[in-house]
Amino acid sequence: MNKSQVIAELTALIGEAAVIGDVAAMPAYLNEPRKRYHTTAQAVVRPADVAQVQAVCRWANGNRVPLIPQGGNTGLVGAQVPLIGEEVIVSLQRLDRVREVDAIAGHMTLEAGVILERAHEVAEAAGTMFPLWIASQGSARIGGVLSSNAGGVQVLAFGNARELCLGVEAVLADGRLYQGLNALKKDNTGYDLKDLLIGAEGTLGIITAATLKLFPQPEAHETAFCSVDSPAKALELFYLLRERTGSRLTAFELMPRFGIELQLKHAMIARDPAASVSPWYALVEVNRMKGGVAGALEAALEDAIEHGLVTDASIALSEADRTLMWTAREQMSEVQSKEGASIKHDISVPIAAIPQMIAEGAAAAERVVPGIRPCLFGHMGDGNLHFNLSQPVGADPKAFMAREKDVNAAVYEVVGRLRGSISAEHGIGQLKSGLLRQVKDPVALEMMRAIKSALDPNGIMNPGKVLA
CATH number for 399: 3.30.70.2740
The CATH number of whichever domain residue 296 belongs to comes to: 3.30.70.2190
Q: For residues 426 and 331, what is the distance between their CA atoms, to the nearest angstrom?
A: 17
What are the tens digits of pLDDT across the range 268-278?
999 999 999 99
One domain for residues 122 and 136: yes
Q: Which domain holds residue 160?
A: 98-216
From 171, 190, 216, the end of a domain falls on 216
222 SS3 class: strand
- Say whether both 320 and 232 belong to one domain: yes
Confidence bin at 293 (pLDDT 50/70/90): confident
Give the pLDDT confidence score for residue 222 in this predicted structure: 97
pLDDT one-digit tens code per residue, 220-251? 999 999 999 999 999 999 999 999 999 999 99
Number of other residues whose CB lies within 10 A of the CB of residue 323: 13
Give the integer Cα–Cα distance in Å for 265 and 275.
18
C-alpha separations of 419 from 162, 350, 384 in Å: 22, 8, 13
- 3-36 tens-digit pLDDT: 999 999 999 999 999 999 999 999 999 999 999 9
Residue 314 is assigned to a structural domain of this protein: yes
Judgement on whether residues 326 and 250 belong to the same structural domain of the protein: yes
Whether residue 434 lies inside any domain: the answer is: no
Q: Please report the pLDDT score of residue 294 as a whole number.
A: 87
Claim: this prediction has a pTM higher than 0.85: yes
What is the pairing mode between strands 165-171 and 43-45?
Answer: unpaired
Q: Percent of the chain at pLDDT above 90?
A: 98
Structural domain includes residue 439: no
Q: Which CA distances in Å does 63 have to 5, 10, 59, 100, 463?
A: 11, 12, 6, 36, 15
Clarify whether residues 253 and 362 are in a common domain: no
Counting Cα atoms < 13 Å in the Cβ hemisphere of 145 gives 34
CA 278 to chain centre: 28
Cα 5–chain centre separation: 36
Instruction: Domain count for the chain, please give it.
Output: 4
Contact 203/456 with Cβ under 8 angstroms? yes
Looking at the structure, tell me whether residues 211 and 226 fall in a common domain: no
Residue type, 373: R
What percent of the chain shows pLDDT beyond 70?
Answer: 100
Phi, psi dihedrals of residue 222, rounded to the nearest 5°: -110, 120
Q: Do 241 and 195 have their domain in common? A: no
Mean pLDDT of the region 434-441 = 95
